[in-house]
């Protein structure tokens, strides 16, 4: 390897090492009070602190003379404690969003929102607020696969100096239903069916689509879920939305309606469906590992924090109800004001006590923020608090990950698992000691916005809520051609899994309300009669911010991307080393892949490399780009290996960047000659690795985009100068 290459490699490695869980903030300091190190050399003890002499044998009656083992003794309190603790390790998983991954980080405000709120977290630009974020899938259980087609949860807990504030959002800005009373039906319908508990973590079944049809209000959201947003490349590359409408209250007591938005620095990117399907089997933990790996390598994920604001007096000036969670606030009408930044910079030390025990509640708000009459939000405010009781018990707010970092004092007492010891006689208010009084009005305590309400008690919504079609059309119209094709493919796949013709025929009918050609294409694939009439007029309106193409990264980057370098014995050490160093210097991750995992020797006969994986160990699906350095013998070996050629072909079909130098180009050409209708646009010895952003991916049979993919890959210039 060249010495320049080696030194870049060393620097990049040291940046990486320096990044490992070094970040500190008030919450991390708070958690440290409870952190124990399982790698300490101290002797192991029982739960009550007595040192244990033997952890391998249960106490038994043993006749050593006769070499005979007798009965195990129940009196062994140490063995009993271990088994008994083990028996109770599980707690109920979340009824929805059971599978997730979490990380710590910080929130920084760069523009004060004091015109609309008095919340310090949104007005004090000198502050850094600790946060904990949990991403999740919705439908699958704790052990399900990460890459399934689903909505993703995006829940943020801000540990502010005024108490905890939670934005419990999703990666899709709208919801399936308008009324929270329907939530149990929605979840029952989309989760595995009750008789056979099939399928896991997906909506591709009769009940889910039966529900979708029977709830016309779900149309808008199911279009989002069937779009590429339903299969994000990474938690780090998706937007987050608070979905519900909240209120902001300023110092003068004036109310503004608000929606919260997170937009990722890396841009919004998705898998190709074929890739997502394969990954669900090849690496069911792909997203979980991706988040951990990026943070561990110092490629900290970041999001801009934005708000959409509507003045109270403008509430009724829209053709939709601004409290209806099945509607977006189109950016043309309500622009996003980006005012802050979220960075995740520290992995959890222990999954269970942090990611599993974290409890988010939409009702956790701080002064300056308030609720609205959004009926979905009102139901959620009850649900989250309630569900924590079955998961964690009444004292869940005391768990280290959930407790606030500001002073906390009240007269809530007792209950199972109480930790805090509160001394003194005062456990009621008012008390003769005048201990722990409320702040009184106007002194910084939480005060509800005095909204004026009139009306009758009725189980109803206003007529405006009945327009279920316009925004579904708006969303579909705003998609690019490729995105539209992906929606067609996704719907066809899902309905193909429904074997009840009532279900898929009715869903196709519903699609005719949005777009007749889409409905006809899906009908052909799923076996429904071809529809001939557009049933609701589609005026062709579009809005920005709906297509993923509107969220390309501001600065093109390969940060945190995984690059596979394919080599075998006899590889070109200079090209290999320089590419590895170049990738590392961009905070991206090079992985050496070979036909074996034993050391591989370069053509110079001196340099050797230890592959990270062999070809079958990690498939091309797990990488964002592929680079093939030259080396006559190396390429000959790889050429003769069907799996190596497939590696390149598969990456190509998933529209990834493919680069090669020297003889490596021959491998790429040979592999791609096996892909019908393609030509390799660039030859020669230039390094041709760039990041081709799979903004929205294509399917292998999508020839036009395939060509575009290879063109972009071969046009790459970024690394060329580094050799
Ligand atoms: Fe949830 N949801 N939800 N939800 N939700 C839960 O709370 C619920 C809704 C969301 O990482 C549960 O702690 C109702 C919308 C996320 O821990 C439960 C309704 C949005 C998470 C619950 C909704 C979400 C949950 C299960 C309809 C996007 C995971 C475990 C009125 C804005 C949080 C838990 C985490 C979790 C109820 C609808 C997002 C049962 C009743 C809309 C990200 O309380």
pLDDT of res. 10: 53
Query: Domain 100-191+226-305+334-398 - what CATH class?
Result: mainly beta
Ligand 1 nearest atom to the CA of residue 102, by list position:
11
Cα gap 372→700, rounded to integer Å: 46
Tell me the pLDDT tens digit for each residue of 425-447.
Answer: 999 999 999 999 999 999 999 99
pLDDT of res. 137: 98
Cβ < 6 Å from ligand 1: which residues?
Answer: 94-97, 100, 134, 136, 153, 155, 168-170, 175, 180, 183, 243-244, 325, 359-360, 376, 379-380, 383-384, 387
Pocket test for ligand 1, best of 92, 93, 94 (most atoms within 8 A of CB): 94
Report the 10 Å Cβ neighbour count for 334. Answer: 19
User: Which residues in 41-63 are b (16+ Cβ under 10 Å) and which e?
Assistant: eeeeeeeeeeeeeeeeeeeeeee
Helix (H) or strand (E) holding 634: helix 632-639
| pLDDT(705) > 90 | no
Helix (H) or strand (E) holding 157: strand 152-160
Ligand 1 nearest atom to the CA of residue 180, by list position:
31
Residue identifier of the C-alpha nearest atom 7 of ligand 1: 384
Q: Most distant CA pair in the chain: distance in Å?
A: 93
| pLDDT(721) > 60 | no
Q: By C-alpha distance, which of 350, 344, 338 is closest to 308?
A: 338
How far does residue 461's CA lie from ligand 1's centre (Å)? 22
| pLDDT(20) > 80 | no
Tell me the pLDDT tens digit for each residue of 522-576.
Answer: 999 999 999 999 999 999 999 999 999 899 887 778 888 899 999 999 999 998 9
| pLDDT(609) > 80 | yes
**Encoded tokens for 549:** 């193409």
Catalytic residue, chosen from 25, 97, 287, 381, is 97
Three-state secondary structure call for residue 722: helix
Cα gap 26→318, rounded to integer Å: 42
Pocket test for ligand 1, best of 245, 384, 396 (most atoms within 8 A of CB): 384
Active site residue 316: no
Cα gap 350→372, rounded to integer Å: 36
The residue ranges of every structural domain in the chain are 100-191+226-305+334-398, 556-722
Q: How long a stretch of residues is the chain? A: 723
How far does residue 291's CA lie from ligand 1's centre (Å)? 21
How far does residue 88's CA lie from ligand 1's centre (Å)? 26
What average pLDDT score do residues 276-302 get?
96
How far does residue 168's CA lie from ligand 1's centre (Å)? 7
How far does residue 384's CA lie from ligand 1's centre (Å)? 7
How far does residue 97's CA lie from ligand 1's centre (Å)? 7
How far does residue 170's CA lie from ligand 1's centre (Å)? 9
Tell me the pLDDT tens digit for each residue of 499-519.
Answer: 999 999 999 999 999 999 999
How far does residue 459's CA lie from ligand 1's centre (Å)? 23
Query: Helices marked H in 217-346 — which ranges?
Result: 219-226, 273-282, 286-296
**Average pLDDT value over all residues in the chain:** 90
pTM of the model: 0.93
Distance of CA 337 to the CA centre of its chain: 23
* Same-fold call for 100-191+226-305+334-398 versus 556-722: no
Ligand 1 nearest atom to the CA of residue 242, by list position:
32
Ligand 1 nearest atom to the CA of residue 358, by list position:
17
Q: Using pLDDT thresholds of 50, 70 and 90, give the confidence band for residue 676.
A: low
Report the 10 Å Cβ neighbour count for 148. Answer: 24
Residue identifier of the C-alpha nearest atom 11 of ligand 1: 134
Distance of CA 295 to the CA centre of its chain: 14
How far does residue 204's CA lie from ligand 1's centre (Å)? 21
Query: Taking a C-beta distance cutoff of 8 angstroms, is the pair 228, 697 a contact?
Result: yes
Q: By C-alpha distance, which of 147, 106, 99, 234 is closest to 589?
A: 234
Pocket test for ligand 1, best of 153, 246, 363 (most atoms within 8 A of CB): 153
Residue identifier of the C-alpha nearest atom 14 of ligand 1: 380
Q: Using pLDDT thresholds of 50, 70 and 90, give the confidence band for residue 655.
A: confident
Active site residue 250: no
Between 431 and 24, the higher pLDDT residue: 431
pLDDT of res. 16: 54
Q: What are the residues whose beta carbons fall under 8 Å from the beta carbon of 316, sequence distance 6 or more?
A: none
pLDDT of res. 699: 37
Which range (76-80, 248-252, 267-271, 280-284) has the least confidence?
A: 267-271
Q: Using pLDDT thresholds of 50, 70 and 90, give the confidence band for residue 585.
A: confident
User: Which residues in 493-514 are b (16+ Cβ under 10 Å) and which e?
Assistant: bbbebbeeeebbbbbbbbbbbb
What average pLDDT score do residues 677-706 get?
37
Ligand 1 nearest atom to the CA of residue 384, by list position:
44
What average pLDDT score do residues 312-328 get?
98
Pocket test for ligand 1, best of 97, 103, 351, 401 (most atoms within 8 A of CB): 97
Catalytic residue, chosen from 25, 104, 164, 170, is 170
At 343, phi and psi to the nearest 5? -130, 135
Ligand 1 nearest atom to the CA of residue 97, by list position:
29
Residue identifier of the C-alpha nearest atom 42 of ligand 1: 175
Ligand 1 nearest atom to the CA of residue 94, by list position:
30
What average pLDDT score do residues 117-126 get?
98
Pocket test for ligand 1, best of 151, 360, 390, 399 (most atoms within 8 A of CB): 360
Topology given in CATH for the domain delimited by 556-722? Rossmann fold (3.40.50)
Cis check for the bond before 683: say yes or no (omega within 30 of 0). no
């Amino acid at each position: 390897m060249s010495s320049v290459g080696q030194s870049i490699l060393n620097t990049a490695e040291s940046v990486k090492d320096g990044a490992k869980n070094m970040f500190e903030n008030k919450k991390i300091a708070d958690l440290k009070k409870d952190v124990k190190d399982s790698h300490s050399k101290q002797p192991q003890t029982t739960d009550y602190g007595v040192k244990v002499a033997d952890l391998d044998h249960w106490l038994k009656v043993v006749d050593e003379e006769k070499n005979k083992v007798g009965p195990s003794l129940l009196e062994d309190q140490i063995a009993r404690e271990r088994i008994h603790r083990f028996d109770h390790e599980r707690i109920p998983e979340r009824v929805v969003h059971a599978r997730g991954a979490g990380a710590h980080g910080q929130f920084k405000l760069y523009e004060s929102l004091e015109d609309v709120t008095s919340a310090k977290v949104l007005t004090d630009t000198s502050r850094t607020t600790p946060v904990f974020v949990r991403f999740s899938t919705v439908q699958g259980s704790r052990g399900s696969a990460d890459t399934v087609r689903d909505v993703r949860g995006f829940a943020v807990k801000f540990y502010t100096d005024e108490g905890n504030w939670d934005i419990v959002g999703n990666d899709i800005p709208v919801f399936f239903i308008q009324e929270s009373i329907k939530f149990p039906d929605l979840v029952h319908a989309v989760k595995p069916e009750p008789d056979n508990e099939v399928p896991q973590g997906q909506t591709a079944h009769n009940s889910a689509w039966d529900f979708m049809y029977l709830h016309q209000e779900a149309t808008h959201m199911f279009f989002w879920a069937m779009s590429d947003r339903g299969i994000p490349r990474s938690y780090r590359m998706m937007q987050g939305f608070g979905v519900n409408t909240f209120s902001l209250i300023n110092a003068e007591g004036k109310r503004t309606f608000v929606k919260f938005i997170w937009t990722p620095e890396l841009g919004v990117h998705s898998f190709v469906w074929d890739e997502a399907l394969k990954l669900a089997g090849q690496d069911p933990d792909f997203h979980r590992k991706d988040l951990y790996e990026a943070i561990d390598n110092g490629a900290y994920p970041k999001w801009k924090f934005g708000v959409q604001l509507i003045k109270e007096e403008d509430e009724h000036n829209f053709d939709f109800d601004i409290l209806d969670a099945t509607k977006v606030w189109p950016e043309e009408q309500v622009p996003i004001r980006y005012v802050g930044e979220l960075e995740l910079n520290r992995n959890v030390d222990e999954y269970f006590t942090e990611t599993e025990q974290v409890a988010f509640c939409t009702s956790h708000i701080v002064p300056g923020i308030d609720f609205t009459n959004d009926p979905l939000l009102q139901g959620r405010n009850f649900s989250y608090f309630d569900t924590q009781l079955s998961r964690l018990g009444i004292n869940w707010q005391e768990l280290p990950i959930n407790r606030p970092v500001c002073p906390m004092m009240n007269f809530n007492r007792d209950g199972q698992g109480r930790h805090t010891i509160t001394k003194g006689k005062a456990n009621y208010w008012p008390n003769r000691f005048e201990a722990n009084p409320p702040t009184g009005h106007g002194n910084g305590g939480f005060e509800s916005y005095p909204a004026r309400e009139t009306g009758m008690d009725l189980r109803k919504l206003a007529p405006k809520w009945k327009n279920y079609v316009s925004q579904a059309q708006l969303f579909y119209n705003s998609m690019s051609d490729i995105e539209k094709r992906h929606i067609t493919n996704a719907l066809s796949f899902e309905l193909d899994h429904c074997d009840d013709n009532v279900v898929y025929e009715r869903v196709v009918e519903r699609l005719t309300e949005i777009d007749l050609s889409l409905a006809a294409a899906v009908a052909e694939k799923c076996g429904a009669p071809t529809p001939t009439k557009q049933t609701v007029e589609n005026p062709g309106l579009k809005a920005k911010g709906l297509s993923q193409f509107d969220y390309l990264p501001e600065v093109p980057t390969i940060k945190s991307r995984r690059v596979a370098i394919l080599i075998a014995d006899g590889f070109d050490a200079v090209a290999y080393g320089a590419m590895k160093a170049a990738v590392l210097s961009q905070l991206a991750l090079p992985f050496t892949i070979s036909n074996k995992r034993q050391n591989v020797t370069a053509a110079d006969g001196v340099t050797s490399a230890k592959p990270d994986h062999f070809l079958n160990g990690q498939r091309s699906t797990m990488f964002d780009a592929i680079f093939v350095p030259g080396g006559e013998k190396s390429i000959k070996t790889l050429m003769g290996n069907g799996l190596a050629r497939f590696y390149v072909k598969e990456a190509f079909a998933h529209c990834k960047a493919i680069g090669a130098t020297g003889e490596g180009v021959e491998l790429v050409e040979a592999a791609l000659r096996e892909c019908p209708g393609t030509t390799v646009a660039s030859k020669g010895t230039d390094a041709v690795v760039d990041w081709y952003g799979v903004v929205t991916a294509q399917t292998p049979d999508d020839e036009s985009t395939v060509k575009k993919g290879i063109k972009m890959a071969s046009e790459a210039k970024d690394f060329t100068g580094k050799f």
